[in-house]
Chain A
Amino acid sequence: MRIALFVACYNDTLFPETGIAVTRVLERLGHTIEFPIEQTCCGQMHHNTGYQKDAVPLVRRFVSIFRDAEIVCVPSASCVAMIREHYELIAQQEHDPDFAREVRNLLPRIFEFSELLVERLGVDDVGATFPHSVTYHPSCHSLRMLNVGDGPYRLLRQVRKLELVDLPNQDQCCGFGGTFAIKNADVSAAMLSEKNREVLETGAAVITALDNSCLMQIYGGLHRQGSSVRAMHLAEILSSSEVDR
Chain B
Amino acid sequence: MSVRVGKTDRASSFPVAAKAALRNDQLRRNVRNATDIIRAKRALRIDEMPDWEQLRQAASDIKMHTLAHLDYYLEQFERNCEQAGGKVHWARDADEANTIAAALIKQYSGDQPAEVIKVKTMTSDEIQMNVALEHAGIRAYETDLADMIVQMSSDEPSHIVVPALHKNRFEVREIFREQMGLVDLGDQPADLTDAARSYLREKFLRIKIGISGANFAIAETGSVCVVESEGNGRMCVTMPNVLISLIGIEKVIPTFQDLEVFLQLLPRSATGERMNPYNSFWAGVEPGDGPTAFHIILLDNGRTALLKDERERETLDCIRCGACLNACPVYRETGGHAYGSIYSGPIGAILSPQLQSLEHSRSLPYASTLCGACYEVCPVKINIPEILIHLRGKIVREEQATLRGSLSAECLAMRAMGTIFLSHRRYESAQRLARLGQKIFERNGQLTNLPGLAGAWTEFRDLRPLPKQSFRDWWKTRVEAAVSSEEAS
Question: Interface on A for B, CB 8 Å cutoff?
Answer: 7, 9, 11-20, 35, 37-41, 43, 45-55, 57-58, 61, 85, 140-141, 143-145, 171-173, 175-192, 216-217, 219-221, 223-224
Contact = CB atoms under 8 A, between A and B. Distances in A.
B418 interface: yes
A40 B392 contact: no
B159 to A, nearest CB: 17
A185 B460 CA distance: 8
Interface string B362-377: 0001111111110110
Q: Chain A at the B interface: mostly helix, strand, loop or mixed?
A: helix
A221 B376 contact: no
Contact of A172 (B329, B392, B427): B329
Interface of B: 14-15, 18-19, 22, 329-330, 333-334, 365-373, 375-376, 386, 389, 391-397, 414-415, 417-418, 420-424, 427, 431, 434, 446, 448, 453-454, 456-457, 459-464, 466-467, 469-476
Contacts of A40: 420-424, 427
Nearest to B459: A185
Given A144-B372, A144-B373, A184 B462 contact: no
A52 B395 CA distance: 11
Contacts, number: 187
Contacts of B391: 50
8 contacts: A41-B417, A45-B417, A50-B389, A50-B394, A51-B393, A52-B393, A177-B370, A191-B329
B460 A54 contact: no
B474 A16 contact: yes
A9 B434 CA distance: 14
B359 to A, nearest CB: 16
Contacts of A216: 463-464
A40 B423 CA distance: 8
A175 B329 contact: yes
Contacts of B394: 50
Contact of A186 (B22, B466, B467): B22
Contact of B392 (A7, A12, A48, A145): A48
B454 to A, nearest CB: 7
A58 B464 contact: no
Given A54-B418, A144-B373, A181 B330 contact: no
A190 B373 contact: no
B392 A49 contact: yes
Given A13-B471, A45-B414, A178-B369, 6 more contacts: A16-B473, A46-B418, A140-B371, A179-B366, A181-B456, A184-B15
Contact of A187 (B330, B392, B446, B462): B330
Contacts of A179: 366
A189 B414 contact: no
A178 B370 contact: yes
Contact of A35 (B15, B366, B472): B472
B466 A13 contact: yes
Contacts of A190: 22, 333
B461 A192 contact: yes
A117 B152 CA distance: 60
Contacts of A19: 471, 474-475
Nearest to B330: A187
Contacts of A61: 421-422
Contacts of B333: 187, 190-191
